[in-house]
């Protein structure tokens, strides 16, 4: 009879693999172009419905309308910034409390946390900006793009990075493809 000892897991090795949650979101800053794009798209549909053959060499009204839509879309896309957030460390959280100096302003605390969690901001070309955004920058951005857009994009991504989604994500697609339901 053998006295085999079951393998004891190495807790320290497992703890060394821990990492903080992250989240990324891309937000076009020129949100005001959305209505112009929708109007140009409606104009394109109208031109398409009424399209008549054009003479050779003449520019098609359909192509002109389509080019207008794409030009506006390109302008909006060129204004996009990508924000990368990572959960706060205990030291960063304590620093926010110290910076607040006992003031009770939940909105400012949230904006300070967003700014502290923002690890990187990149432009549409993928180049990272060297300057870190302050909580005041995020407050101004919220006013510029609108509170609802800010809440549904930037604040939501920061909340995900803060650890709001701590369990192992389920993949419906992978589960379906692999034929399992677990």
**Residue 156 corresponds to which tokens in the numbers above?**
């939501």
Whole-prediction pTM value?
Answer: 0.79
Question: What is the four-CA torsion angle of 106, 21, 160, 119, rounded to 10 degrees?
Answer: 60
Asked whether the beta carbons of 56 and 81 are under 8 A apart, the reply is no
Answer whether residue 33 shows pLDDT above 90.
Answer: yes
Burial category of 168 from C-beta neighbours within 10 Å (exposed 0-12, middle 13-18, buried 19 and up) = exposed
pLDDT in the model for residue 1: 53
Instruction: Identify the weakest region by mean pLDDT among 13-17, 108-112, 123-127.
Output: 13-17
User: Please, what is the angle between helix 61-78 and helix 33-49, to 10°?
Assistant: 160
Please write the tens of the pLDDT for every residue from 123-136: 999 999 999 999 99
| CA quadruple 171, 173, 178, 179: dihedral sign | positive
* Secondary structure letter of residue 172 according to DSSP: H
Angstrom distance (rounded) from CA 119 to CA 94: 18
Please write the tens of the pLDDT for every residue from 124-179: 999 999 999 999 999 999 999 999 999 999 999 999 999 876 777 788 888 888 88
Give long-range contacts, CB 8 A cutoff, 24+ apart: 144-153: 144/29, 145/27, 145/29, 145/31, 146/31, 149/27, 149/31, 153/25, 153/27
């Amino acid at each position: 009879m053998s006295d085999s000892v079951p393998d004891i897991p190495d807790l320290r090795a497992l703890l060394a693999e821990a990492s903080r949650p992250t989240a990324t979101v891309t937000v076009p800053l020129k949100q005001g172009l959305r209505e112009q794009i929708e109007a140009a798209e409606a104009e394109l549909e109208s031109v398409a419905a009424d399209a008549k053959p054009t003479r050779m060499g003449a520019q098609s009204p359909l192509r002109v309308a389509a080019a207008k839509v794409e030009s506006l879309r390109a302008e909006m896309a060129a204004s996009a910034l990508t924000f990368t957030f990572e959960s706060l460390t205990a030291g960063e959280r304590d620093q926010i409390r110290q910076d607040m100096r006992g003031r009770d302003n939940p909105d400012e605390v949230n904006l300070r946390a967003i700014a502290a969690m923002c690890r990187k901001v990149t432009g549409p070309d993928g180049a990272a900006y060297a300057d870190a955004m302050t909580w005041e920058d995020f407050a101004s951005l919220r006013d510029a793009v609108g509170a609802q857009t800010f809440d549904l994009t930037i604040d939501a991504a920061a909340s995900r990075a803060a650890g709001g989604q701590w369990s192992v994500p389920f993949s419906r697609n992978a589960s379906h493809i692999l034929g399992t339901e677990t």
